[in-house]
């Protein structure tokens, strides 16, 4: 029997439905949560993500704006736009879509966002709050992974969780969330990465395996144990002449073969992607609530 499918679209819809009463309470006080995205250049993936975030905001009755800057934009100009959004009271959440071109220092861009509006949870202050277990915002993709696990009945408490990938966006903050002494966390976390010797020896131990490497179908069936729960964060475009547009999207997991051994697995697309957006909307609503209290 192939493993059960962890339906990210369905679970994201649940998370989004739970936001409606909070959005209504804000509306009763005359507040419409607003999300502003800055996008630099023409990267098709980034454009698609920003478009999806805007569409989701609209569906939920949130305000949203997209600031489009040219690939050649200076760091000073970008920081100027961030400062403008920081001081705009209609804007509760700001995200600077990555990747950024080489003339922009990512750490400068990330640190320029007002931490109270940092709905991506990339600002060093907010990253620190996550690490000490007192998050202001939950980092969107990692929090989406945790929600997928909990709401599909796979509480990570006490489990051996292996995360493949140590980026500041996914691997590291996910490790920080899962290792907390808290309900829905409390896992024994191993992070494997490009410097790991014998990666399979670790992944085969995992009761829960999270793949966040950006390497198409890297995790094969012989790298997992029977009954594993797999969350696939990867989003990779691979050439496919039979697909519309000449490419299709796959995860970091060799889906069919791994599913055959797994207890449960999240697909790509339709797994972590919709959850990331749902958590971003949650953070924007939270930002509006917190700014209203300040």
Beta-strand runs (E) in 154-245 = 160-164, 188-192, 208-211, 229-232, 236-239
Of these, 54, 214, 270, 292, which contacts ligand NAD (CB under 6 A)? 214
The nearest distance, CB 28 to ligand NAD, in angstroms, is 32
In the range 98-117, which residues lie near ligand NAD by CB under 6 A?
Answer: none
Q: What is the DSSP letter of 99?
A: P
* Torsion angle defined by CA atoms of residues 71, 75, 78 and 79, in that order, rounded to the nearest 10 degrees: 170
- 158 to 197: interface string for ligand NAD, x by CB under 6 A: ------xxxx-xxx---------------------xx-x-
The question of whether 103 is a catalytic residue gets the answer no
Q: Is 249 exposed, middle or buried (0-12, 13-18, 19+ CB in 10 A)?
A: middle
Q: Which residues contact 208 (CB under 8 A, 6 or more apart)?
A: 149, 154, 156, 159, 160, 161, 162, 187, 228, 229, 230, 231
Instruction: Compute how many residues bind ligand NAD; rule: CB under 6 A.
Output: 24
97 catalytic per annotation: yes
In this chain, which residue has its C-beta nearest to ligand NAD?
A: 167
For the bound state, the minimum distance from the C-beta of residue 117 to ligand NAD, rounded and expressed in Å, comes to 20
Choice among 97, 159, 232, 254 that is catalytic? 97
- Per CB under 6 A, the list member of 272, 280, 281, 287 interacting with ligand NAD is 272
* 117 is annotated as an active-site residue: no
Cα-flanking dihedrals φ and ψ of residue 237, to 5°?
-95, 125
φ, ψ for residue 278 (rounded to 5)?
-60, -40
Least distance in angstroms from the C-beta of 241 to ligand NAD: 22
Among 231, 234, 253, 265, binds ligand NAD (CB under 6 A): 234
User: Exactly one of 120, 232, 252, 254 is catalytic; which is it?
Assistant: 120
Minimum Å gap between C-beta 224 and ligand NAD is: 15
Does 212 contact ligand NAD by CB under 6 A?
Answer: yes
d(CA 39, CA 66): 7
Q: φ, ψ for residue 255 (rounded to 5)?
A: -55, -60
Q: Which is nearer to ligand NAD, 40 or 213 (CB)?
A: 213
Nearest Cα to 237, choosing from 229, 228, 245?
245
Quote the tokens at residue 36.
Answer: 């502003």
Q: How far is the CB of 168 from ligand NAD (least distance, A)?
A: 7
Please, what sign has the CA dihedral across residues 218, 215, 143, 48?
negative
Nearer to ligand NAD, 186 or 204 (CB): 204
List 115, 135, 267, 273, residue binding ligand NAD (CB under 6 A) = 273
| Residues carrying an active site annotation | 53, 97, 120
Residues lying near ligand NAD in the complex (CB under 6 A)? 141, 164-167, 169-171, 193-194, 196, 199, 212-215, 218, 233-236, 272-273, 276
């Amino acid at each position: 029997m192939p493993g059960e499918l962890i339906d990210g679209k369905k679970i994201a819809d649940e998370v989004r439905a739970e936001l409606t009463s909070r959005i209504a309470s804000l509306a009763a006080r005359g507040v419409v949560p607003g999300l502003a995205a800055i996008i630099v250049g023409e990267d098709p993936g980034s454009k698609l993500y920003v478009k999806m975030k805007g569409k989701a905001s609209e569906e939920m009755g949130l305000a949203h704006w997209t600031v489009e800057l040219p690939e050649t934009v200076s760091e000073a100009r970008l920081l100027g736009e961030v400062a403008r959004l920081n001081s705009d009271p209609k804007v509760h959440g700001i995200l600077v879509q990555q990747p950024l071109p080489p003339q922009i220092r990512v750490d400068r861009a990330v640190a320029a966002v007002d931490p109270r509006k940092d709905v991506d949870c990339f600002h060093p202050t907010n990253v620190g709050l996550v690490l000490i277990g007192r998050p202001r915002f939950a980092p969107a993709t990692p929090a989406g992974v945790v929600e997928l696990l909990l709401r599909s009945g796979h509480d990570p408490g006490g489990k051996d969780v292996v995360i493949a990938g140590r980026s500041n966006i996914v691997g590291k903050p996910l490790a920080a969330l899962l290792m907390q002494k808290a309900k829905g966390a409390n896992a024994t976390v191993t992070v494997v990465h490009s410097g790991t010797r014998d990666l399979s020896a670790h992944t085969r131990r995992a009761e829960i395996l999270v793949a966040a490497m950006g390497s198409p179908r890297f995790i094969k069936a012989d790298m997992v144990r029977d009954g594993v729960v797999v969350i696939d964060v990867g989003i990779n475009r691979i050439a496919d002449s039979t697909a519309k547009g000449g490419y299709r999207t796959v995860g970091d997991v060799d889906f069919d073969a791994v599913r055959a051994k797994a207890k449960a697995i999240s697909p790509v697309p339709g797994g972590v992607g919709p959850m990331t957006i749902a958590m971003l909307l949650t953070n924007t609503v939270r930002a509006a609530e917190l700014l209203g209290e300040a």
